[in-house]
Structure 1
Amino acid sequence: MSPRKRSAGRQGWPDNLYPNKGGFKYRHPVTKRETFMGRDQAKAFAAAKKLNAMLLPGNDLVDKVIGSRETVADAIAVFRRDDVPGRNWAPKTAEVYESVIRRTEAGIGSRPVEEVTVKDCAEFIRGVTESDRARQQFRLVLGWIMACAVQEGWIDTNPVLATRRFQHERKRARLTKEAYSAIWEKAEPWLRLAMDLSLVTLLRREDVVSLKFSDVRDGFLWVVPQKTEGSTLVKLKIRIGDELSTLLAQARDTVLSPYVVHRLPDRARPSNKRAAARQHHTQVMPEQVTRAFLDAREAAGIKGDNPPSFHEIRSLGGALLSESGWAIEQVQGLMGHSSTSMTEHYLEGHDTPWQEVQTGSVLVR
């Protein structure tokens, strides 16, 4: 597309330079940010020409002299090609990060990486969202991207590392024993089983509904958590105690299903019209658990700005185990966490039990 024809009074002006209050202003061709350039026409024209040579994409004449300049989009391409495959993100995690990457590319992808400053990064992170949690996520991803630029030798330092870390408090209310019991009373039998299984095994929603009777063998429940599959390679071999044994026995009802948590559909659907991820007509999908738990929670009269979700059952179960005397490392193992700090995060908000300790003989007389 040819540029807009200039007015007679602006013939010969450099691109992106405009009159402003008796002087001149320059409009950044990418960010559209405007900067006052003073009232000296010669200086403003020279500066605008220099800026255009640096900032206008596809300036082939300049590239012939100084060479092509790698952009943030180029760093993103390297990140996608070399880093992303090795991270082995779970599908949902990959979807979230890809959304962040795309928005980053749309926002500052055309910027040469050598010109991206700490201020540029900070302004982009603050401007892209108002959520502190999301801002920290954008900071994390942008840091990974700019780290690729450093590793490629395009820049010497990563400007993202100097930006502010955004802290966000957990807003989701913790699930108490009383609330759990109230919701359980209003839940359908299959949801009660899913809740109890999560409470006893500390498995996530997706893992609870994926359990099959074939996963029970040799006195253990064999589980590869979906969130860690292909990344941390956590594999759980959960010993079947009395509580878990009782729940598994309850699951063997009159409905013939390979899944431990199952239900007959409200209406039969042809196999070609079922959800793509549904492998059996009795299979419960994760979204069904979420909706059913919400209905039971509302029926129990548990409300608030951020009422507890099904995922909070893991936190409650971990807290109950901690209260019963389990060490943090034991709870960590059952939760499949790679660090105790993550387990401690899950247990925050629950009453911390008193621990009995003793002193040694160290006084010197």
Structure 2
Amino acid sequence: MVPRPRNKANKSLPQNLYFDARRSTYRYRRPTDGKWFQFGADRIKAIDAAKQLNLEFTRGADLIGAVMGHATESFAGFLDTYERDVLPPRELAKGTLNLYAVHFRRFRKHFEGKAVDQITIRMIAEMLDALTPRTANQCRALLIDVFNHAAAKGLCPDNPAASTINRIEKKQRKRHTVEGLKAIREKAPAWLQNAIDLALITAQRRTDILDMRFDGVREGFLYLVQKKTAKASDAAWIRFRVTPELQAVISRCRDDTASPYLVHRKPDRLKQKQAQTKDHWTKIEERYLTRAFKDAREAANCYAEWKEAEMPGFHEVRALSLHLYKKAGKDGQKIAGHASEGMTKNYQRGHEEIVWSEAIPDLNISEITG
């Protein structure tokens, strides 16, 4: 016999849990004998308790369902569906997909053997509590999206991840000082010096610095499409005027190694796997740049009094650049590719013309480069 559809007040609640509008409280109806139990006014506690009770009362139902031909879907199986059907149309960046893959492995391990509708708020909260605030918030956001799609397919009555709370992230990393970055640059190899200089001049992220190409320099401009914000903002499509300051850095990037990329290096030993995955054998991977910058920072010993968690990395060169632009009385918004609130998408399928945001990278970085 098919149960009656739930009314509007109870539609988002687990089975057997009901909202009493007169008292603004929740109550649970025991499915074995119909006896009622008051659960109080706390919605999250009531939902969590109801789900755990439902799980107890239906223990073994997954085996029965398998025999009857209507087994509930496993969470691991639905994650496979989510990765196959939901993510590809979004055309996410490779770095984002790699991060998701790490989180998916964590989810599969923590919820191993669970059906989608067996996962409770408490189960998710316990997993998130064991993580750092930043990682916990990333996992929470991803789980909310996963359960939204599961609920839309009728695989669970509500979204348990949405009932958890975001953690407060306290930024620990400090900003670079001019003296500190100068000391790091002096200990860096030539290719890393070029990367630092480009980050100072253009205020771009690590991935965009490493994607800058010599053939992107044409008609007096260096053209760049920011990977992170290309789908969200006009400001992601930037052409930098080749000022004397920028030209000096570009000229330093040219050496005796033939490469299409401004920041490049000749690897000590070329691995076959790297040759297959890279666009060009001289292209530098993001993780390699991060490690090389850390090595140079440790060699410079410029922030000796700071804790490890406070140490600024290559990404913080961007923050120093914007600070120096502001200090020099220049507008860093266009340089960084920060969109104003009123800006809309620039490039979508079917558009033949791209409107480039023009920036003038004219910061004097001689105080750092010498």
Fold similarity call, TM over 0.5: yes
Task: Give yes or no for the alignment of 1:311 onto 2:315.
Answer: yes
Matches within 5 A, 1:240-319: 240-266=242-268, 269=269, 272=272, 275-278=275-278, 280=280, 282-302=282-302, 303=304, 304=306, 305-306=308-309, 307-319=311-323
Match for 2:93: what amino acid? Answer: A
Give the structure 2 partner of residue 139 of structure 1: 140
Give the structure 2 partner of residue 238 of structure 1: 240
Match for 2:296: what amino acid? Answer: A
| Normalised TM-score (structure 2) | 0.66
Where 1:130 maps in the other structure, the secondary structure is coil
Matches within 5 A, 1:34-183: 54-56=58-60, 58-60=62-64, 64=68, 67-108=70-111, 110-126=113-129, 129-183=130-184
Where 1:55 maps in the other structure, the secondary structure is coil
Match for 2:60: what amino acid? Answer: L
CA distance in 2, matches of 1:70, 1:178: 58
Gaps of at least 5 residues in structure 1 are: 1-49, 341-365
Contact kept in structure 1, 2:128 and 2:140, CA below 8 Å: yes
Match for 1:323: what amino acid? Answer: K
Give the structure 1 partner of residue 11 of structure 2: none
| Normalised TM-score (structure 1) | 0.66
- The one of the two structures with greater contact order (alpha-carbon pairs below 8 A, sep at least 6) is 2
Matches within 5 A, 1:352-363: none
Deviation string, structure 1 residues 22-75 (Cα, Å, up to 9, x no partner): xxxxxxxxxxxxxxxxxxxxxxxxxxxx9677233741368639x433443354
**Bigger radius of gyration:** 1
Counterparts in 2 of 1:59 and 1:301: CA distance versus 1, 3 Å: same
Counterparts in 2 of 1:137 and 1:253: CA distance versus 1, 3 Å: closer
Give the structure 2 partner of residue 323 of structure 1: 327
Match for 2:63: what amino acid? Answer: N
Percent identity of paired positions between Structure 1 and Structure 2: 33
Matches within 5 A, 1:4-19: none
Contact kept in structure 2, 1:174 and 1:312, CA below 8 Å: yes
Counterparts in 2 of 1:147 and 1:185: CA distance versus 1, 3 Å: same
Counterparts in 2 of 1:61 and 1:261: CA distance versus 1, 3 Å: closer
Where 2:239 maps in the other structure, the secondary structure is strand
Question: 1:170 Cα deviation (Å)?
Answer: 1.7
Question: 1:201 Cα deviation (Å)?
Answer: 0.9
Counterparts in 2 of 1:112 and 1:257: CA distance versus 1, 3 Å: closer
Gaps of at least 5 residues in structure 2 are: 1-53, 342-370
CA distance in 2, matches of 1:338, 1:115: 43
Question: 1:200 Cα deviation (Å)?
Answer: 0.8
Counterparts in 2 of 1:102 and 1:313: CA distance versus 1, 3 Å: same
